[in-house]
C-alpha cells in the first residue's frame, strides 16, 4: 500500500498508514553511538587495508642501532628494544586483528544459526538434544578450547579463530533459538504451513529475514569480543606466532619495560581499546536502527536514547502540570471524524458542571409533587393498622396483620 497522491482527500475515519522504516545505513548514521562506531571501525579497517600495500618500514626488520627511539617524524610511534618501527607493527597488527575478528564472527554466525535451526525445526528428540548440547558447550570458555587446540595443532591465527568462533557461536545459537521459536509460532508461518510451504521455503522466506536484525546485533557484539579474545590469546602465546606482529604479543613483549618506557605500551593498548569500543558502539547503533521501539522513540536531533528519555520526562512534567492546574478545561470527547464535539442545550448532552447544592434540587423536586392525603386509620392506632402492601408495621407481627385484615 502506498500513500494517496497529493490533493486526494482522506476519509474522516481512515487509518493513517505507518511510516516506512528507513534503511539500515541511514538509521545507523542518525544515532550518536552508530556514527562513532562507524568512524572507529572504519579507521581500523582502513589501517588494515593500507597495511596490505604500504608500511613506513618493514615491521620485522631489526635495527640494532635504533632501539627505543622516541616519537619523531621518521618514527611516528617510536621503536622497540630491537629497533622495529612501532607504527608499522600497529598497521600490520590491525590486519591480523580484523582478519581474526571477521573470520571468527563468520564461524560464529554459521555455527549459531545452524544450532538454532537444529534445535527448533527438527523433530523433538533432535531439537532437545541440540538444545542440551548448546547448554553444555556454553560451560566451556573459549580460552580453554584454545588451549586444547593449541596443544594439539600448535598456536596459530587459525587456532584462535576456531576457538573464538566456536565459543561465540554457541552464545549466538542460544539467543537465535528463542527468536526462531517466536517466528515459527507466528500467524504468517502457520498460514504458510497451511498453504503447503515446505520447511526450507519457510526458513528461507520467513524465518531468516525476521531473525536477521537480532542476528546483526549479536554478530556486531561478537566482533568486539573476538578482537579482545585474539589479543588475549596472542598475549598468552596461543595466537599469532612470531615474527608476525600482533597487538596482544606486542603487549606481552613490552610489558617488562612498563616502568622504563611506559609510552611504548600506550599504542598497542590504545589500538585494542579503540577497536573494541568501535565494534561495541557499532552493535549499539545497529540495535537502535533495527529496534522499532528505539527508532521511533527518538526525539533529540541526534537521535539517541538520551534524547528519547528527555522527551519522555518533558511529556510527563507537562501532563503533571496539566493535572495540577486549577482552571484546566474539561476534555470533551471527539466525534467520529476527529473534530471536537460542541455542547448544546439538548437533553442528551450532559451539563458542563454538576450542581453543587443538592439540597436545593431536592427541595424543588419535593415542592413539585402533588399534595397527597394520608390514608384513614380505622382504629386510630398506626401500629395495629395494616399497610397497603400487607406488610406489618413497626412493632406489629405478621399474625397480627392477618387478624387485622380479616
CATH code for the domain in which residue 35 is found:
1.10.3720.10
In a domain, 290, yes or no: yes
In a domain, 234, yes or no: yes
Separation CA 351–CA 270 (nearest Å): 72
Of 28, 46, 37, 54, the closest CA to residue 276 belongs to 37
Q: Is 211 exposed, middle or buried (0-12, 13-18, 19+ CB in 10 A)?
A: buried
In a domain, 167, yes or no: yes
In a domain, 98, yes or no: yes
Query: Within the chain, what is the greatest distance between any pair of CA atoms?
Result: 139
CB 113 within 8 A of CB 203: no
In a domain, 341, yes or no: no
0.75 surpassed by pTM = no
Separation CA 223–CA 233 (nearest Å): 15
Query: What is the domain extent for residue 207?
Result: 24-308
Separation CA 202–CA 196 (nearest Å): 10
CB 348 within 8 A of CB 22: no
In a domain, 392, yes or no: no
Separation CA 222–CA 213 (nearest Å): 14
Residue-wise pLDDT tens for the chain (406 aa)?
444 444 444 444 444 444 455 577 787 888 888 899 999 999 999 999 999 999 999 998 888 888 999 998 888 999 998 999 999 999 999 999 999 999 999 999 999 999 999 999 888 899 899 989 898 888 888 788 888 888 888 888 999 999 999 999 999 999 999 999 999 988 988 898 888 888 889 999 999 988 988 898 899 889 999 999 999 999 988 888 888 899 999 999 999 998 888 888 899 999 999 999 999 998 888 888 876 666 555 434 444 455 556 666 777 777 777 766 555 455 555 555 555 555 554 545 455 555 455 555 556 555 655 554 544 444 545 444 444 445 555 444 555 544 544 4
Number of domains in the chain: 1
Buried residues in 302-340 as b, exposed as e (16+ CB within 10 A): ebbbebbeeeeeeeeeeeeeeeeeeeeeeeeeeeeeeee
In a domain, 333, yes or no: no
Amino acid at each position: 500500500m502506498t500513500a494517496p497522491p497529493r490533493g486526494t482527500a482522506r476519509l474522516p475515519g481512515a487509518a493513517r498508514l505507518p511510516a516506512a522504516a528507513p534503511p539500515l545505513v541511514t538509521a545507523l548514521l542518525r544515532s550518536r553511538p552508530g556514527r562513532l562506531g562507524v568512524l572507529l571501525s572504519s579507521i581500523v579497517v582502513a589501517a588494515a587495508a593500507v597495511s596490505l600495500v604500504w608500511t613506513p618500514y618493514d615491521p620485522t626488520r631489526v635495527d640494532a642501532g635504533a632501539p627505543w627511539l622516541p616519537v619523531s617524524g621518521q618514527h611516528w610511534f617510536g621503536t622497540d628494544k630491537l629497533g622495529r618501527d612501532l607504527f608499522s607493527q600497529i598497521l600490520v597488527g590491525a590486519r591480523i586483528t580484523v582478519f581474526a575478528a571477521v573470520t571468527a564472527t563468520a564461524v560464529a554466525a554459521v555455527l549459531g544459526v545452524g544450532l538454532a535451526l537444529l534445535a527448533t525445526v527438527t523433530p523433538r528428540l533432535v531439537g532437545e538434544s541440540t538444545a542440551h548440547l548448546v547448554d553444555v558447550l556454553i560451560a566451556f570458555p573459549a580460552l580453554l578450547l584454545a588451549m586444547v587446540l593449541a596443544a594439539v595443532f600448535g598456536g596459530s591465527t587459525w587456532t584462535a579463530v576456531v576457538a573464538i568462533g566456536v565459543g561465540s557461536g554457541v552464545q549466538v545459537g542460544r539467543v537465535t533459538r528463542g527468536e526462531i521459536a517466536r517466528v515459527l509460532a507466528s500467524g504468517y508461518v502457520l498460514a504458510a504451513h497451511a498453504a503447503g510451504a515446505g520447511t526450507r521455503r519457510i526458513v528461507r522466506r520467513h524465518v531468516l529475514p525476521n531473525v536477521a536484525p537480532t542476528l546483526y546485533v549479536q554478530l556486531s557484539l561478537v566482533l568486539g569480543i573476538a578482537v579482545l579474545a585474539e589479543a588475549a590469546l596472542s598475549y598468552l602465546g596461543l595466537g599469532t606466532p612470531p615474527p608476525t606482529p600482533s597487538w596482544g604479543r606486542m603487549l606481552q613483549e613490552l610489558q617488562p619495560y612498563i616502568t622504563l618506557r611506559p609510552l611504548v605500551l600506550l599504542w598497542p593498548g590504545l589500538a585494542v581499546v579503540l577497536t573494541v569500543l568501535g565494534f561495541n558502539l557499532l552493535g549499539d547503533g545497529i540495535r537502535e536502527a533495527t529496534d522499532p521501539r528505539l527508532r521511533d522513540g527518538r526525539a533529540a536531533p541526534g537521535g539517541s536514547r538520551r534524547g528519547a528519555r528527555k522527551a519522555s520526562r518533558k511529556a510527563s512534567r507537562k501532563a503533571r502540570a496539566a493535572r495540577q492546574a486549577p482552571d484546566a478545561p474539561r476534555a470533551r470527547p471527539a466525534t467520529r471524524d476527529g473534530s471536537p464535539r460542541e455542547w448544546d442545550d439538548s437533553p442528551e448532552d450532559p451539563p458542563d458542571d454538576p450542581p453543587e447544592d443538592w439540597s436545593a434540587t431536592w427541595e424543588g423536586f419535593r415542592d413539585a409533587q402533588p399534595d397527597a392525603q394520608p390514608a384513614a386509620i380505622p382504629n386510630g392506632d398506626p401500629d395495629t393498622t395494616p399497610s397497603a402492601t400487607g406488610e406489618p408495621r413497626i412493632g406489629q407481627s405478621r399474625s397480627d396483620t392477618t387478624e387485622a385484615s380479616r
